[in-house]
Amino acid sequence: MGTMSKQEQRRINQHQRRFNNSDSKPLSYSLLSSSAGERSSAGSANRAQSDVCWCDMKVSAAEQPRLTGSDLSLYAGERSAEYDSDSERDPAISDPVDVIDDLVNPAVTINADSFRNVLLGHVNKAMAVFWSVTSNKSVLRRNVMTFLRNFGYNAAICKSKWETSGGLTSGCYEFIDVLRSDSARYFIDLDFAGEFAIARPTNHYDRMFQTLPRVFVGRSEELKQIVKVMSDAAKRSLKSRGLSLPPWRKNRYMQNKWFGSYRRTANVFPSMPPPANRGLAVKCRSVGFDAVDGRLPFPATSRTR
């Protein structure tokens, strides 16, 4: 069998993205809601405690993604001025849109990650079930997490949180992860592309933005590189428009969303945060995050056949 050309691979990737970004109709499936109530008994609290663990993933300078090679030479800084506007780019330099495309769509590469591809299929199926049922992101994440656990995955909700330090603005974030028996970790973000939206994007940045999948499923290696590339591109785009880079769009802040200290829990229902932390929830919301306040605002939804 002949080798698939890069152009054919890209057409397959674009077809897959159109499926990921399409609006799916909800299927019949039970929805988690507030009807089950909060687990407040001592026994439930003990069980919840056993399902929670704290992890620490500091993003040091050594762990920052090293973007080398001709495809990523743009991001080394030597020719970044050429990309501050919507002017034509040098055709000798690889299109960064293609770089992003190769990072987020590894399904057709020679060393394809079969586990990731199967997991992505199950995540897409879960999204088809729940996406149109609820617009509450916290409820959606927990339904998708439970869906994956029912398929046998070691899936959980990860809540990252970091404080202000050294120019870094405090923040918090939620996503799903899946751990394999060999300790390999897969990140699942149900609104990945939305995290990179900026004001008045240049045409070039908008092309990169449109390449991002709505739902991301992948390893830390790809995720770190994508975040780095998009953060740098956002900085250039805003600069060319005469706008300053918001603190929550800086690379260090963005990296902390997925690679900062986090709490991992498999609890289906979020617990009520302590009163001292409720101010933090408001703070997170003020910078564009969906803070979990421990309540599921939707009425009970009965199981459908």
pLDDT, position 100: 77
Tell me if 230 is assigned to some domain.
Answer: yes
Tell me if 5 is assigned to some domain.
Answer: no
Q: How many separate domains does the chain show?
A: 1
Tell me if 10 is assigned to some domain.
Answer: no
Tell me if 240 is assigned to some domain.
Answer: yes
Tell me if 89 is assigned to some domain.
Answer: yes
pLDDT, position 156: 98
**Secondary structure in 3-state letters for 237-286:** HHHHCCCCCCHHHCHHHHHHHHHCCEEEECCCCCCCCCHHHHHHHHHHHH
The CB density around residue 176, as the number of other CB atoms within 10 Å, is: 22
Closest CA to 235 of 91, 113, 80: 80
Tell me if 213 is assigned to some domain.
Answer: yes
Instruction: List CB contacts of 51: < 8 A, sequence separation 6 or more.
Output: 156, 265, 266, 267
Tell me if 179 is assigned to some domain.
Answer: yes
Amino acid (one-letter) located at 167:
G
pLDDT, position 130: 92
pLDDT tens string for the chain (305 positions)? 455 555 555 655 555 555 455 444 433 344 454 333 333 333 444 444 434 555 554 444 444 444 444 444 333 333 343 344 444 344 444 577 777 777 776 554 556 789 999 999 999 999 999 987 777 899 999 999 999 999 999 999 999 999 999 889 999 999 999 999 998 999 999 999 999 999 999 999 999 999 999 999 999 999 999 999 999 999 999 999 999 999 999 999 999 999 999 999 998 877 655 555 544 444 444 344 444 444 444 433 434 43
203: left (phi over 0), alpha (psi -120 to 50) or beta: alpha
Tell me if 118 is assigned to some domain.
Answer: yes
pLDDT, position 226: 94
Range of the domain at 71: 54-286
- Going across the sheet that includes 185-189, the strands are 52-55, 262-265, 154-162, 171-179, 185-189, 216-218
Kindly state the tokens that stand for 120. Answer: 């992505």
Report residue 263: phi and psi, to 5°.
-110, 130
